[in-house]
Amino acid sequence: MANGVPWNEVLSESIRALSRNRVRAALTMLGVIIGVASVISTLAIGQGAKASVQAQIRSLGSNVIMVFAGSMMSGPARGATGTSQALTIDDAHAIARECGSVRIASPTARTPAQVVAGDQNWSTMVQGGDENYTVVREWPVADGRTFTVSDVRAAAKVCVLGATVAHELFGDDSPIGTTVRIRKLPFQVIGVLTTKGSNSWGQDQDDIVVAPLTTVQKKLMGITWVGSVLVSALSETQVPDAIDQITLLMRQRHRIAPGQSDDFTVRSQAEIASTAEGTSQVMTLLLSSVALVSLLVGGIGIMNIMLVSVTERTREIGVRRALGARGVDIMLQFLAEAAIVSLAGGAIGVLLGVGIARIVSEVAHWPTLVGLGSILLAFGFSAMVGLVFGYYPALSAARLNPIDSLRYE
């Protein structure tokens, strides 16, 4: 009951009043529909991007820490990661042996190369690693096998193909046992890796050839150092301890005095994920702010139309007041109309926003994720907009003088 007036009568009267001007009511809803749809779709894109980044970071492996050569200070000049030759295979072995929070470590080196198989060729990256590389990356083979300790020690010319390289060179045929040429050197294909997909930088992780580190160092790159060391901590909770232990050990091994900058860089999955998610959140916030502004514009539209409605129905309001309706009854009547417009627009906007998110996912191949929280947020905000912007017109209607209203023409 609303001061003696049943709620169902208030709602039915509101619906009748709105139905008398269907086109105007629909146009009033349009601002709310566009605003809610914008909020839903932008949040879906933002949440999808966040989920994608998290999945891609997890694809690196469990509790992975990366130690890069570089980021060193030499006088006033600082080198970037990858510009230093400070890391060695012995460093990787020392990390695995002396750091208590480390489960396993694998030294790596990476170089671009053209891979040829028969009359097919493909430009890709050749990743050198030891027998622990696929273990750290949690990247098992889908067919064949990975290389062994003996292959690494002997600098054997064997390789494991990523799924993209295998498809580009051999199509649907199995490449196991065949020979490919990498920089004119013959390599026997012994395995094909499972599919990983793109990483958080948009690079295809499956566009790769993995070979023994010693083979890559000696026969493809002509180096003795390594570009990075991939480390897997014992558990997620021990990642910070592992980073501290690695940093301390590397400073000792590289004889870096107190106050001097490191000649290496240590990064964890959490740091990479935090940076990527931070960028995603900023973009989501920016897009959502624009969407909320459009929703506020829709609310202003509701207020304008309701003020026009109050003016048009001044005589009706006077008649109702003369028949015993209270000011609060009139106010509730107009608030109900504003709420119906905003809630109906919100419901349609939610459906439209979900549809837009799906279209974006299908057409643009962007990851989208529509969560219940974003739907409730958008729907609740649309209801609040309707009530807030409908309050002033409703209050104006309630304050009309009954005598003056009856005289209004």
Q: What is the pTM of this model?
A: 0.59
Which has more confidence, 113 or 235? 113
Q: Which of residues 253, 283, 313 is at a domain's end?
A: 253
pLDDT 10s digits, 94-118: 999 999 999 999 999 999 999 999 9
Taking residues 6-24, report their average pLDDT: 76
Q: Is residue 37 part of a domain?
A: yes
Q: Is residue 258 part of a domain?
A: no
User: Looking at the structure, do residues 247 and 281 belong to the same domain, yes or no?
Assistant: no
pLDDT value for 111: 95
pLDDT band of residue 409 (cuts 50, 70, 90) is low
User: Looking at the structure, do residues 364 and 402 belong to the same domain, yes or no?
Assistant: yes
pLDDT band of residue 273 (cuts 50, 70, 90) is low
- Out of 71-80, 314-323, 345-354, the most confident range is 345-354
Q: Which of residues 253, 283, 301 is at a domain's end?
A: 253
User: Looking at the structure, do residues 355 and 209 belong to the same domain, yes or no?
Assistant: no
pLDDT value for 53: 65
Domain that holds residue 361: 7-56+275-407
Name residue, tokens 């609310």: 299
pLDDT 10s digits, 242-266: 999 999 999 999 999 988 889 899 9
User: Looking at the structure, do residues 91 and 235 belong to the same domain, yes or no?
Assistant: yes
Cα distance from N-terminal residue to C-terminal residue, the chain = 32
User: Looking at the structure, do residues 112 and 228 belong to the same domain, yes or no?
Assistant: yes
Q: Is residue 69 part of a domain?
A: no
Q: Is residue 268 part of a domain?
A: no
User: Looking at the structure, do residues 247 and 299 belong to the same domain, yes or no?
Assistant: no
Q: Is residue 262 part of a domain?
A: no
Q: Is residue 128 part of a domain?
A: yes
Structure tokens at 334: 């107009």
Count of domains observed in the chain: 2
- Would you say 345 and 30 are in contact if contact means Cβ atoms under 8 Å apart? yes
Structure tokens at 143: 């067919």
Q: Which of residues 221, 253, 285 is at a domain's end?
A: 253
User: Looking at the structure, do residues 218 and 173 belong to the same domain, yes or no?
Assistant: yes
Q: Is residue 204 part of a domain?
A: yes
User: Looking at the structure, do residues 301 and 381 belong to the same domain, yes or no?
Assistant: yes
Cβ-based burial of 232 (10 A; exposed 0-12, middle 13-18, buried ≥19): buried
Q: Is residue 269 part of a domain?
A: no
Q: Which whole-number Å values give the CA distances from 132 to 103, 157, 193, 211, 235, in the listed order?
A: 11, 17, 14, 12, 17
What is the gyration radius of the CA atoms in the chain, in angstroms? 33
**Residue 114 identity:** Q
pLDDT value for 77: 42
Taking residues 59-82, report their average pLDDT: 62
User: Residue 379: is its pLDDT beyond 60?
Assistant: yes
Taking residues 126-135, report their average pLDDT: 94
pLDDT value for 82: 46
C-alpha 10/C-alpha 26 separation (Å) is 20
pLDDT band of residue 54 (cuts 50, 70, 90) is low
Structure tokens at 72: 């060193």
pLDDT value for 83: 47
User: Looking at the structure, do residues 249 and 115 belong to the same domain, yes or no?
Assistant: yes
User: Looking at the structure, do residues 91 and 195 belong to the same domain, yes or no?
Assistant: yes
Reference 285, options 275, 277, 273; nearest CA is 277
